Amino acid sequence: MNHYPHPILAREGWTFIFFALVAAIASLYFFGWTWSIPAWIFFVFCVQFFRDPARPIPSGEKSVLAPADGRIVVIEPARDPWLDRECVKVSIFMNVFNVHSNRSPVDGEIMNRWYHPGKFLNASLDKASLENERNALHLRTRDGVDVTCVQVAGLIARRILCYVDIGEKMTRGQRYGFIRFGSRVDLYLPPEAHIKVGVGETVKASSTVLAELP
């Protein structure tokens, strides 16, 4: 499967980028360079926000890869609210300057999918995992290990996009969704998983190994 069906810029942003460019050119033409600066700044922001570069995917069937770019804000024992089990929770916070496409952390089949409408609290807050709008995937690896991957909307993010569903099989690094304008992704891993990152560390989707499964 082609993990990157579009060049460099995410298709979710093409409309935003196009209209931002038109607005910038129009403001330059009608009002001059000085007054067009805000429009050009917005255009540059849209381009950087919707960038979606291909990434190297590490080998290792038991490796859990980062599903998103961002900063690790939580690593702690927790109760998986979707599968009702004890687990280790790893949360990645994405600010507006991070790449916002989401990629599969493991090779596995989608056993279930849940969407839950909710609030739009600051995604860096831990309670966002339980109160914000979110979309969860239950993935099961070929070894029968369960991993829950949850897209969480943020304060500014108002649109969670997910392009896969129950019964589909995903490969590590496969692009499966997008969250617009600042958000969070939570992973619920088995307690025996060996965590390889620390709180505060910056990670890259598909190329950073977060953990090794038992």
Rounded-to-integer distance, Cα 121 and Cα 148, Å: 21
So which residues are the catalytic ones? 183
Residue 175: which H helix or E strand, with range? strand 175-179
Note whether 92 and 203 are within 8 A (CB): yes
Residue 164 β-bridge partners: none
Taking residue 207's Cβ as centre, other Cβ atoms within 10 Å add up to 17
Structural contact between residues 135 and 160, judged by C-beta atoms closer than 8 angstroms? yes
Q: Residue 129 has which token pair?
A: 């995992």
What values do phi and psi take at 116, rounded to 5?
A: -130, 115
